[in-house]
Amino acid sequence: MTTRPWIVDDDLWALIEPLLPPWPEGSPGPRPVPDRLCLQGILYVLHQDVAWQLLPLELGFGSGQTCWRRLDRWQKAGVFEQLHRILLAELHAAGKLDWTRACVDGPRPCEKGGAATGPSPVDRRKTGSKHHLICDGHGIPLHVITTAANVNDITQTLNLIDGIPPVAGRPGRPRRRPESVLGDKAYDSRAVRRELQRRRIMPVISRKGAPNIRGLGKLRYVVEQTFALLHQFKRLAVRWERRLELHDALVSLACGFICWRRLKRQVA
């Protein structure tokens, strides 16, 4: 892996550039910092977890305020969600998405304040948030939800399923439903099983008070691996953005980069 993971290569920039909203013509003030450099500044913060005001000016990204404002503008235009969807489509076209199963999980909370926060289950004195994630059978992130730290995992199961974007890339209707969903005992619920079956999805969920389904852990390990990849982006391990939509924009950007790395690895 490159020692400068925030650098955007030409192939990835060719995907991102058409998604960016044009800069308003005749806008007052100095010439804006190029979008590509601002994106690299955002990625620098995402990888290194530095405060926006401490973004190194010598790297040419512009000020932290410039990158933050560009992040806000692009989030409102839905740039990062579109990028994630495009890369999922390319993986689907290459046959690299495993729709036979999807895995759900919600790990330890990420602390700090802002919208969608609540008492941490590991320390009631602190408020925090946590990520709920669904990935395919290969560990490719399909959808991530940020909630308060005290939200029960099971309440987000159907939201994760329904939040999977329609993934094109092959003839026919876009795909958005896995054949089965794998979960541990935290997701055991008659209502959830019933709703999954109504969506023609087989629930493979261990039941409370019964032994775990044999071999389920070996199939579900990919979701833990995906969480590890997601939280390698240090800005996501601890939530600093008080505005939930900006934090979720960074999450979508990280998911897009995980997909891009997987795509590049398959091509290589």
Tell whether 256 is covered by a domain: no
- Residue 181 has a pLDDT of 92
| Segment 31-72, tens digit of pLDDT | 688 999 999 999 999 999 999 999 998 888 888 899 999 999
Residue 199 lies in a domain: yes
Q: From CA 220, how far away is CA 224, in angstroms rounded?
A: 8
Q: What percent of the chain has pLDDT over 90?
A: 60
Residue at 157 is within a domain: yes
> Helix/strand/coil (H, E, C) string of 25-62?
CCCCCCCCCCHHHHHHHHHHHHHHCCCHHHCCHHHCCC
Residue 264 has pLDDT above 70, yes or no: yes
Q: What is the per-residue pLDDT for 43?
A: 96
User: Is residue 251 assigned to a domain?
Assistant: no
**Regarding predicted confidence, which is higher, 27 or 14?**
14
Q: Tell me 169's DSSP state.
A: S
CA–CA separation, 83 and 206 (whole Å): 35
Mapping DSSP to helix (H, G, I), strand (E, B) and coil, where does residue 256 land? helix
The answer as to whether 155 is a domain residue is yes
Indicate if the pLDDT at residue 150 is higher than 90: no
- Pairing outcome for strands 102-105 and 180-183: parallel
Rounded mean pLDDT of 178-196? Answer: 91
In total, how many domains does the chain have? 1
User: pLDDT per residue over 195-222, tens digit each?
Assistant: 999 999 999 888 887 666 776 777 788 8
- 225 belongs to a structural domain: yes
Within-domain flag for 147? yes
What b/e readout covers 146-159, taking b as 16+ CB neighbours within 10 angstroms?
bbbbbbebbebbee
The residues, ordered by sequence, that sit 6+ positions from 121 with a Cβ below 8 Å of its Cβ are 109, 149, 150
Q: What is the pLDDT of residues 233-247, one digit of tens each?
A: 999 988 888 899 999
**pLDDT of 2 above 60:** no
Confidence category of residue 23, pLDDT binned at 50, 70, 90: confident
* Cα 243 to Cα 246: distance, rounded to the nearest angstrom: 6
Q: Is 21 helix (H, G, I), strand (E, B) or coil?
A: coil
Which structural domain range is residue 183 located in?
98-242
Residue 105's CATH number: 3.30.420.10
Neighbours of 49 (CB within 10 A): 14
- CB 155, CB 133: distance < 8 Å: no
What is the pLDDT at residue 1?
Answer: 43
Strand, helix or coil at 147? strand
Q: Would you state the structure tokens that stand for residue 145, as one six-digit string?
A: 């939800």
> Residue 163 pLDDT > 90, yes or no?
yes
Residue 226 lies in a domain: yes
Residue by residue, DSSP assigns 207-221 as PTTSPPPTTHHHHHH
End-to-end Cα, the chain, rounded Å: 13
Q: What is the pLDDT, as a whole number, of residue 107? A: 67
For 186, half-sphere exposure in the C-beta direction (CA atoms, 13 angstrom radius) is 14
